[in-house]
A = this chain, B = another copy of it.
């Protein structure tokens, strides 16, 4: 594939955060009624002003600057002492040891980790199993490296509250067809569902049977509601040489402005990831790496309070969404995404998303970014100011009625 075609496929027009580059063109004939007043809410990402960064983050950064050259120029895989500290926390969190020296890399955000992990495992023509719906970059990365995506459905709507709803038969079929890599997020982005112990066990068993590598994005795995049970893939019956786990403090901890992530697991894959990082961006910003010292070291009770506040927002928004006739909203078990399905509308859902921005000051991400089968869904990151979010979703509900088919 030539470079022009490769980039033509790599659309970012509807990517979260890029709405500012869109125009309002073509909607004039569609608009119904007056704009709805209210504080604008950008649900495309979390509001770090409403949920502030971890206490002490900027102090740690300042200490990084004060440390000078040794903090500015770390190994490409990140500062050794910081890796040691983070590895110990991640071992506690996931239940099995993490090798700070050879089994871990610090990256510019979890996005950086995901990019390197896919690049390190997927070559041209390689088959890769990808969940639908799932984080849009998974698919785009496979396409960029000219892999072949084999979709696996996640039927989170029909599944009970006790499982995410992965179609395990389809996953096995993907492996049978030759998929050598499986990439998925847990909790799922966008649906907010958590894979059950049974589902994780079967993913591990299938990966083992077919010798596949699994890349699991656990970015939101600390923000869990109502005592949901979370199972770490890497802690189960899976060959450690075939798992890469990705996490980072950008979301729950609101540290996105520092661009920090980590990948940990199979040393052979981590080694490749570091080789590539050396020509992609050298390293996560050296001074920023120092902020990882706050991670898993938050003040007593801080995380509980963060979870409590998010759960309260979730509950209010889910109630409003469920009040829309014909809409479906499964309550997320973890993370800060809601992925409601809207009823039939008189305008295409893609246009409704733009109308919502123009008429109600509400930015959401269209479902098609996550799955071709999610065209009538929208994703909302509900890590927002509570009252503003409630009011914004009320405006959304009003507009749904205005445009109902």
Chain B residues within 8 Å of A287, by CB: 257-258, 288
A279 & B144 in contact (Cβ 8 Å cutoff): yes
Task: Say if the beta carbon of A15 comes within 8 Å of chain B.
Answer: yes
CB A124 to nearest CB in B, in angstroms, measures 7
B18 & A47 in contact (Cβ 8 Å cutoff): no
Chain B residues within 8 Å of A3, by CB: 120-123, 126
Known: A258-B285, A259-B285, A283-B259. A275 touches B10 (CB 8 A): yes
Contact pattern, A 270-308, Cβ under 8 Å of B = 1, otherwise 0: 001011101111111111100000000000000000000
Chain B residues within 8 Å of A275, by CB: 7, 10-12
B115 & A279 in contact (Cβ 8 Å cutoff): yes
Task: Say if the beta carbon of A202 comes within 8 Å of chain B.
Answer: no
CB A240 to nearest CB in B, in angstroms, measures 19
- Give bound CA distance, A269 to B18, whole Å: 18
Task: Say if the beta carbon of A109 comes within 8 Å of chain B.
Answer: yes
CB A10 to nearest CB in B, in angstroms, measures 5
* Interface size grouping (class) on chain A: 35 or more
Task: Say if the beta carbon of A184 comes within 8 Å of chain B.
Answer: no
Chain B residues within 8 Å of A65, by CB: 53, 58, 61, 257
A141 & B281 in contact (Cβ 8 Å cutoff): no
Chain B residues within 8 Å of A256, by CB: 72-73, 286
Residues of A within 8 A of B (CB): 1-3, 6-7, 10-12, 15, 17-18, 20-21, 45, 47-49, 53, 58, 61-62, 64-65, 68-69, 71-73, 75-76, 80, 107-109, 111-112, 114-115, 120-124, 126, 137, 140-141, 144, 256-259, 272, 274-276, 278-288
Q: List 5 A-B contacts (CB under 8 A).
A: A10-B279, A47-B69, A108-B285, A259-B284, A285-B285
